[in-house]
Amino acid sequence: MSSAKHQPILAPNLPKPVGPYSPGMQLGQLLFISGQAARDPATGLQAEGIEAQTEQVLRNLERILVAGGSSLQHVLRCGVFLVDMNEFARMNAVYERVFGGHRPARTTVQVSGLPDVGLRVEIDCIAYVP
C-alpha cells in the first residue's frame, strides 16, 4: 500500500463551500480542485451574467491553485458545468482569454441547476505542482 498522504488545500479569502467538502485536495504533485462558484471573495456577492461568472469562477480556481503551489498554466483537466448550453460560446471566450495559449483537457456538460441561485457556470479542475 502506498504511503502517499493527501491533504486539503485551504486558500485565504474564499467563500466557504456550500457542503462538507474541501476547496481542493493535494496528493503528491497532483491537485484536485472542487467546482467553484462565482462569488467574489472580497464582497461575497455573486457575479452576474455568464461572462462575469466565468471570470470569477476561474479566478477562484486560480486562488486555490496558487495556495497549492500551482497555477492555471499547470491545469491538466477542467470540468465545466453550464446551466444553459446557449451560453457556451460566451463562457468559452472568457475561458480562452483567461487560459491564454494553455489548453487543458476539458469536458463541458449542461446541468439542470447549480447550488447557488442564479449561478450559470461551475468549473472544477485537476492540476499539478511543478
Render pLDDT for 49-99 as a digit per residue (tens, 0 to 9): 999 999 999 999 999 999 999 999 999 999 999 999 999 999 999 999 999
Predicted model pTM: 0.94
The closest alpha carbon to 53, from 39, 71, 33, belongs to 39
The whole-angstrom separation of Cα 71 and Cα 82 is 23
Are the C-beta atoms of 24 and 32 separated by less than 8 Å?
yes
Q: For the chain, how many residues are written? A: 130
Q: Domains (ranges, CATH) in the chain?
A: 6-128 (3.30.1330.40)
Identity at 43, one-letter amino acid code: T
